Chains A and B, each alone.
Chain A
Amino acid sequence: MTESENAPVVRLAGVRKEYGGTVALAGIDLAVAAGEAVAVMGPSGSGKSTLLNMIAGLDRPTAGTVAVLGEELGALSETALARYRRRRVGMVFQFFHLLDDLPVLDNVALPAQLVGVNRRAARERAAGLLDELGVAGRARAYPSVLSGGERQRVGVARALMNRPALLLADEPTGALDSASGEQVTDLLLDLNQIGQTLLLVTHDRALAERVATRVITVTDGRITADRTAVAP
């Protein structure tokens, strides 16, 4: 095994984030290895989503470093960060954040088209993903007519479009009923089992214990617990 294969996918060192006088993260050190499924838990306002945003390159730390696949995010320009997100990261949101103007297939194909993949190839891959996730029948529908569970499956398909090394999910079941939540949980579990590195922020202990291989608790901007998940 080479050194690069052993290197963590995500490495945070002394990450601190302040908004005005408010401390959101108070010095986080964290490493996530390839293939891990890490659940970040904690009360509201503890800094979980801020931590996720740092790793996604959507926000910058006040101090400390964030590196993903060896790439130091603090050194990247806004444009380079956008490129980093396209290639390295897939994001799943609590409220799906699908574009209402586009049909499902185009929503899923969009990240590949932003990279420059031609429309036909992008749509073929998007159709394949929708098929894998069980929503192929909704490819031509617009998001507004989908159920919550279907929207989140589409959201996951979009996140996987560019084969990201890291899948980030922010409360992926938070806006779903229990049946839909179960479906999405199974989906994330399946993905991790085929090797997808996963970092999810959740309030849902059952989700964390079921999907994650490791559970981190954040309180007042600090990691207060870091343990292996207990299989349900």
Chain B
Amino acid sequence: MRAVWRAARAAVRRRRLQTLVIAVMVAVSAALLTLAAGLLAAATAPFDHAFDAARGAHLAVTYDARRAAPGAVAGTARAPGVTASAGPFATVRLDAVAGGLLVAGRTAGGGVDGLTLTEGRWADRPGEIVMAAGRADRPPPFTLATRDGRSVTVVGAARSVTRTADAWAAPGVLPSLGPATGAQMLYRLDRAATVAQVAAGRAAITRGLAVREDGSWLTVRADAVQGPRSVLPFLLLFGALGLVTAVLIIANVVSGAVVSGLRHIGVLKALGFTPAQVTAVYVTMAAVPAAAGCLAGVAAGNALAVVLLARVADGLDLPTVAGTGLALDALAAAAVLATVVVTALVPAARAGRLPAHRMIAARPPAPESRARRAQTWLSGRSLPRPVTLGLALPLARPGRTALTVAAVGFGVMAVTFAAGLNRSVGEMREVTDPAQVTVRAVPERPVPGFDARVRALLAGRPGTERLTAGTRTEVAVAGAGTAFELAAWQSPDLATEPVLRGRRPAGPGEAAVTDAFLTVHHHRVGDTLTLRAGDRTAEVRIVGALFATDTGRLWTSWETLAALDPAARPDTFLVRLAPGTAQTDYVDGFARALEAGAGLDADDYDLAVTMNGGHPDTALAVLFVTLALLISAACALGVLNTVVLTTRERGRDLGVLKALGMTPPQVVAMTVVSTAAIGAVGGLLGAPAGVALHRLALELTARSVDSALPGTMYGVYPAALLAALPAAGALIAALGALPPAVRAGRIRTAAVLRGE
């Protein structure tokens, strides 16, 4: 074993550049693999992972504090089926102007439904609360008015995986917010996979106790997976692409290192090393730098994953920060090292069986007839000789060239895919959120002309480009369900989602539904639906299918909605801002105008202003760009490695060419051209593959949301971009080839030829 170790150590020292390349390549690939694996983990059942990580509550029950004895409530922790519990926590019902809030007396953390403070600080002074992340329309701190004229200060935001309350405060602070009306218990159950199991658990736990409200994790889960569904296929495919690229490049680098050492293997065998020892030397030689690179890469990938995936989780409103865990890191490291060992083992074992004299005499392989024919053909072209020599070089090593083409192809595929996804996600935001500001103003009591006054105020604001007013009401759809949101807008194109089929409702008796509604309820455009609100009904004909990722919405003309709900008045105003108008400035300006007394009495209405665009496109864009850069960097390094190997093998030829008068720039040109040619082929293959992958991602998305997608999400590759993408392959390859090419241009000719 000692001889093996010494020989391996000597080989590592002798081939410093190659050792460094292996370490760096494996580090980059390991980082890529770790990030990709983290992405896959985050994109696969994100809620379930977050739920497990935060030990979410399968069941949250708030008991009536006045009617349920505290001892009995605490005793429910020992009820059959309960595996863990937290509480009781006193709760207060806070009547904020913007809506009622359930505030629980808790601190951050906790053994069940752990609370994570995402912004600000914990509420530990009288009159303070921490709101559930995503509920507030602005960052803390801010003041919230209550209906009884008091105010509470929101000092932070916290995330609860099971959304067991709307806000929290330290237990000692709770009395300052109001009298405790409830006692909340959080339970984890041994059987909670189905609605029936949770209901059975609830029945066993709450038997004989007065319950004010309760919530099942299944309801929260169903709601939580709705949003991310549309982007998860993107993340999954990107993660898979990263994994494949990382494995391919590691295989290329490590097997290349072994193959380039054939002569050394021959010498070892001549000295008496057995085939097994030779194999061990080469596996060790590759594994030592690979292990170092792997550790660094996994650590870097983990750090990247924590930052990037946390941003994505926030953007998607996933319940907790996603990242890679220790198990995933260990798995990624094991996968990298296994790939290194296997890809080293196969050629090393093969080399171990070859006769020593053949390997000692090993020279670059004799060119095949195909390569020679190409060389002859190229020499007849009216191109500079270094260029024609370079163009023919890849044919001398078809296997290595194929691997390099594949590596570059994957790089270009990643860039293409990322560019397309970024634009598609942007399109999705554009088509689903044409208005940047939503103002919802609901009068406490009928105020004549109220909506017209709000409208006039908004219309007069600087920055308002377009404005529409409308309202929503809840209706039942015969045969489909009872809780559909029916919306009607005065300018439907601004307010509603894009038309996938048919058209928008234009007059009485017409409706549009989501494409997903048609799929789920087996309807088609032209069918008639019966809508019911209270004791009023309306027959509507479906005239169009619109794009939305849910099934719970319908749209009609204002007249149809008014027929179902004669009291309906426009209470929601959508504002499209003029280009260059900052949302925050606009909203602040509007709030000040209201306070300055715009003819509206603040006591007469509830007001909520929402800035739209909280979509995850920025976080996703950062993620896509990072992944594409990482994959491209890995590919460029793979190319660098190939060129290092090739220039090493062809050192004699380079020396001869320099001795014959080839200048260093000509050597660089020849080497870069040879690799750029490979890159261009990789680009030509990778760009269409990236476009196809993008299409596949969109089709998976469409299937996931049960809806066709707007055509604008598909047509995101302008002709100029499509033409430029193959050039990206040549560019990646040329960048990867440049450092070793410059090095090749500087080789000491006399030393190389003397070595021969």
CA distance A158 to B657 in the complex (A): 12
State whether A103 touches B385 (Cβ < 8 A). no
Given contacts A113-B385, A114-B385, A119-B380, contact A97 B662 (CB under 8 A): no
Q: Tally B residues with Cβ within 8 Å of A.
A: 36
CB nearest to A113 among chain B residues: B385
Choose, from A35-43, A82-90, A190-198, A208-216, the stretch at the interface: A82-90
State whether A111 touches B661 (Cβ < 8 A). yes
> Nearest chain A CB to B589's CB is how many angstroms away?
65
Q: Is B70 located at the chain interface by the 8 A CB criterion?
A: no
State whether B665 touches A79 (Cβ < 8 A). yes
Given contacts A53-B750, A93-B753, A114-B666, contact A99 B379 (CB under 8 A): no
Given contacts A101-B372, A119-B380, contact A79 B663 (CB under 8 A): yes
State whether A114 touches B661 (Cβ < 8 A). yes
Q: Is B748 located at the chain interface by the 8 A CB criterion?
A: yes
CA distance A118 to B664 in the complex (A): 21
Q: Is A59 located at the chain interface by the 8 A CB criterion?
A: yes
CB nearest to B652 among chain A residues: A97
CB nearest to B396 among chain A residues: A101
CA distance A50 to B371 in the complex (A): 36
State whether B379 touches A158 (Cβ < 8 A). no
> Nearest chain A CB to B91's CB is how many angstroms away?
80
Given contacts A49-B754, A59-B748, A119-B380, contact A79 B659 (CB under 8 A): no
Q: Is A230 located at the chain interface by the 8 A CB criterion?
A: no
State whether B660 touches A91 (Cβ < 8 A). yes
B659 partner residues in chain A, CB cutoff 8 A: 56, 58, 85, 91, 93, 97
State whether A85 touches B660 (Cβ < 8 A). yes
A114 partner residues in chain B, CB cutoff 8 A: 385-386, 657, 660-662, 666
CA distance A95 to B755 in the complex (A): 12
CA distance A33 to B154 in the complex (A): 97
B376 partner residues in chain A, CB cutoff 8 A: 103, 106
State whether A86 touches B660 (Cβ < 8 A). yes
CB nearest to B371 among chain A residues: A101
Which one of A95, A111, A119 lies within 8 Å of B660 (CB-CB)? A111
CA distance A103 to B376 in the complex (A): 8
Given contacts A58-B749, A101-B367, A110-B385, contact A83 B660 (CB under 8 A): no
State whether B661 touches A97 (Cβ < 8 A). no
* A59-98 at interface with B (beta carbon < 8 Å): 59, 78-79, 82-83, 85-87, 91, 93, 95, 97-98
B656 partner residues in chain A, CB cutoff 8 A: 93, 97-99
CB nearest to A109 among chain B residues: B379
State whether A82 touches B663 (Cβ < 8 A). yes
Which one of A49, A93, A106, A162 lies within 8 Å of B379 (CB-CB)? A106
> Nearest chain A CB to B163's CB is how many angstroms away?
69
A100 partner residues in chain B, CB cutoff 8 A: 364, 366-367, 653
Q: Is A144 located at the chain interface by the 8 A CB criterion?
A: yes
State whether A144 touches B663 (Cβ < 8 A). no
* A106-128 at interface with B (beta carbon < 8 Å): 106, 110-111, 113-115, 118-119
Chain B binding surface, main DSSP class: helix
Q: Is B746 located at the chain interface by the 8 A CB criterion?
A: yes
> Nearest chain B CB to A120's CB is how many angstroms away?
9
Flag B726-756 by CB within 8 Å of A: 1 or 0 each.
0000000000000000000110111001101
CB nearest to A50 among chain B residues: B750
Q: Is B392 located at the chain interface by the 8 A CB criterion?
A: yes
Given contacts A97-B656, A110-B385, A119-B379, contact A83 B367 (CB under 8 A): no
State whether A79 touches B749 (Cβ < 8 A). no
Q: Is B423 located at the chain interface by the 8 A CB criterion?
A: no
CA distance A99 to B364 in the complex (A): 11
CB nearest to B655 among chain A residues: A97
Q: Tally A residues with Cβ within 8 Å of B.
A: 35
Flag B213-242 by CB within 8 Å of A: 1 or 0 each.
000000000000000000000000000000
Q: Is B375 located at the chain interface by the 8 A CB criterion?
A: yes
CA distance A138 to B292 in the complex (A): 53
CA distance A53 to B376 in the complex (A): 32
CA distance A98 to B756 in the complex (A): 13
Given contacts A100-B366, A119-B379, contact A83 B653 (CB under 8 A): no
B749 partner residues in chain A, CB cutoff 8 A: 58
Q: Is A102 located at the chain interface by the 8 A CB criterion?
A: yes
Given contacts A101-B372, A102-B379, contact A95 B661 (CB under 8 A): no
CA distance A142 to B745 in the complex (A): 26
B385 partner residues in chain A, CB cutoff 8 A: 110, 113-114
Flag B367-400 by CB within 8 Å of A: 1 or 0 each.
1000110011001101001100000100010000
Residue among B380, B661, B749 having the largest count of chain A Cβ atoms under 10 Å: B661
State whether B375 touches A85 (Cβ < 8 A). no
B653 partner residues in chain A, CB cutoff 8 A: 99-101
State whether A78 touches B664 (Cβ < 8 A). yes
A91 partner residues in chain B, CB cutoff 8 A: 659-660
State whether A86 touches B661 (Cβ < 8 A). yes
Q: Is B658 located at the chain interface by the 8 A CB criterion?
A: yes
CB nearest to B375 among chain A residues: A101
CA distance A42 to B230 in the complex (A): 80
Flag B530-546 by CB within 8 Å of A: 1 or 0 each.
00000000000000000
B666 partner residues in chain A, CB cutoff 8 A: 82, 114
B664 partner residues in chain A, CB cutoff 8 A: 78-79, 82
Which one of B392, B660, B745, B748 lies within 8 Å of A110 (CB-CB)? B660
A78 partner residues in chain B, CB cutoff 8 A: 663-664, 745-746
Given contacts A97-B656, A103-B376, contact A85 B661 (CB under 8 A): yes
Nearest 4 pairs between A and B by C-beta?
A86-B661, A82-B663, A113-B385, A58-B750
* Chain A residues in the interface with B (C-beta under 8 A): 49-50, 53, 56, 58-59, 78-79, 82-83, 85-87, 91, 93, 95, 97-103, 106, 110-111, 113-115, 118-119, 142, 144, 158, 162
Known interface pairs A58-B748, A82-B664, A102-B375; 16 further A-B residue pairs with C-beta atoms within 8 A, sorted by A's residue number: A49-B750, A56-B659, A78-B663, A79-B665, A82-B662, A86-B660, A91-B659, A97-B753, A101-B396, A103-B372, A106-B376, A110-B657, A114-B385, A144-B366, A158-B660, A162-B661
7 contacts across the A-B interface (CB closer than 8 A): A87-B661, A93-B656, A101-B367, A101-B372, A114-B657, A114-B660, A119-B382
